Amino acid sequence: MTSSEQAAWPSVTAVVPTLGDRSDLLGQTLNAVGQQDYPGAIDCLVVLDRRSADIGRADGPGAGAADPWQSTRAVAEAAGATVIDNARAPGLAGSRNTGFLAATTELVANCDDDDYWLPGKLRAQVAALAGEPAAALACCGITVEYGDRLADRVHPATVVTFADLLRSRIMALHVSTFLARRSALLDGVGLVSEEIPGSRSEDYEFLLRAARHGPVLNIPRPLVHVRWHTRRNAMYGRWPVVATALPWLLEKYPEFRTVPAGYARVAGQAAFAAAASGARSDAWRWVGRTISANPREPRAYITLGVMSGLVSPDAVVRWLHRRGRGI
């Protein structure tokens, strides 16, 4: 490849947030970034969220060692990546934003530390963005790994609108597929919200904002491998945090009220999270709102099953994840 051919493709920075407890998976993530068949330059920033790693975890990565993140640093350096500390709010949102702000390239991409890009991902997305100047974000399909099962999740449309995302989260548009124009993050779409409790659903909220700004582009092929439940520590929070974050989302976007099925979907998720947290009064309230908006929303009735003791929330989630889906 000549230098002129390389210069014709914009430089990209891959941002990889991590707690520092998955260095083996991180190695695969970084190697996949480096092996992209992309003509332009690729930088990689590993954002170490040390403050979140130690919250409530006496035996976490920060306990009992002079440099508990030594393995993470070694893996990153071996792959040619730069390690920086999260300088913003603890959590995924702050980690992502730290990386986006530290980048100096025209484009920035995200990949979580237990996922990895498949061949052709970056080239296809950059080409799509080049053909649509009004778009700030490009996504693609995913292959979901859960235990010994693999399931492809691909959204068929090449353009996703704000109305589409009010109706459906479109799970195929996973955060590890995001490629964005850095200029739009600084002025227009904005950074990832650090207001959301526990950074839960911060990727969905960012998608909504990007779609308000302009069309969200999608490559309808599985170009990112996503691991669900790798038997490691979940990055940030569980049901009590989710039960707080989803109502926040509905309040932030009153447009959900104009799409009853979309409102019921998020309200049903809030109901399930409240039930899984043991907050029965909140769960009853959200079940009522869910059925009022859309009596056919299954999450309301799944929540009632959890509240009655017929099924455990973890059993529901495991059943869905085996099929490449979430609650």
| Same-domain check for residues 145 and 186 | yes
The two tokens of residue 194 are: 């650090």
Name the 3-class secondary structure at 300. helix
| Same-domain check for residues 46 and 165 | yes
Q: pLDDT tens, 122-148?
A: 999 999 999 999 999 999 999 999 888
**Which residue type occupies 162?**
F
201, 227, 253: which is the final residue of a domain? 227
Residue 184 forms part of a structural domain: yes
CA distance 163 to 234: 31
| Same-domain check for residues 129 and 199 | yes
CA distance 42 to 34: 8
| Same-domain check for residues 213 and 243 | no
Residue 232 forms part of a structural domain: no
Residue 130 forms part of a structural domain: yes
Residue 234 forms part of a structural domain: no
Mean pLDDT value across residues 286-309:
96
- The pLDDT assigned to 323 comes to 78
| Same-domain check for residues 183 and 244 | no
- The pLDDT assigned to 139 comes to 98
What is the CATH number for 118? 3.90.550.10
Residue 124 forms part of a structural domain: yes
Residue 320 pLDDT grade (very low, low, confident, very high; cuts 50, 70, 90)? confident
Residue 17 forms part of a structural domain: yes
| Same-domain check for residues 223 and 264 | no
Residue 103 forms part of a structural domain: yes
- The pLDDT assigned to 25 comes to 94
| Same-domain check for residues 192 and 247 | no
| Same-domain check for residues 315 and 250 | yes
176, 196, 227: which is the final residue of a domain? 227
| Same-domain check for residues 213 and 267 | no
| Same-domain check for residues 214 and 72 | yes
> Is this prediction's pTM over 0.85?
yes
Q: Which domain holds residue 243?
A: 239-321
Residue 326 forms part of a structural domain: no
Residue 237 pLDDT grade (very low, low, confident, very high; cuts 50, 70, 90)? very low
Indicate the number of domains in the chain: 2
Write a three-state SS string for 106-168: CEEEECCCCCEECCCHHHHHHHHHHCCCCCCEEEEEEEEEECCEEEEECCCCCEECHHHHHHC
Rounded to the nearest angstrom, the gap between the alpha carbon of residue 20 and the centroid of all alpha carbons in its chain is 18
187, 204, 227: which is the final residue of a domain? 227
| Same-domain check for residues 19 and 53 | yes
Percent of the chain having pLDDT more than 90? 78
- The pLDDT assigned to 236 comes to 39
| For residue 65, pLDDT beyond 80 | no
| Same-domain check for residues 122 and 145 | yes
Residue 206 pLDDT grade (very low, low, confident, very high; cuts 50, 70, 90)? very high
| For residue 55, pLDDT beyond 80 | no
